[in-house]
Amino acid sequence: MPIIVNLDVMMAKRKMSLNELSEKVDLTLSNLSILKTGKAKAVRFNTLEAICKALDCQPGDILEFVNN
């Protein structure tokens, strides 16, 4: 898939664990893990907004398009 999810990179930069992020954005660990590993088929804008607020970043810091 040409969309790369860099959620783990942003979490490491902010020194935030998956558990902490899960609590801040009110998502289950399993759903957040699916997103983090790039296995998610979609992400809702309100979820993306909550993640960006929690990590103090832009959507482009988390999602990246790679043209093969």
Per domain, the residue ranges of the chain are: 3-58
Residue 64 φ/ψ, nearest 5 degrees: -135, 135
Tell me: the pLDDT tens digits for 26-57?
999 999 999 999 899 999 999 999 999 999 99
pLDDT at 59: 96
H runs (alpha helix) in the chain: 7-13, 18-25, 29-36, 45-55, 59-62
Q: What is the pLDDT of residue 29?
A: 95
- pLDDT above 80 for 1: no
The model's pTM: 0.90
Coil, helix or strand at residue 3: strand
pLDDT for residue 64 is more than 90: yes
- Report the percentage of the chain scoring pLDDT > 90: 93
Domain 3-58, CATH among 3.30.70.270, 1.10.260.40, 1.20.120.1200, 3.40.50.410: 1.10.260.40
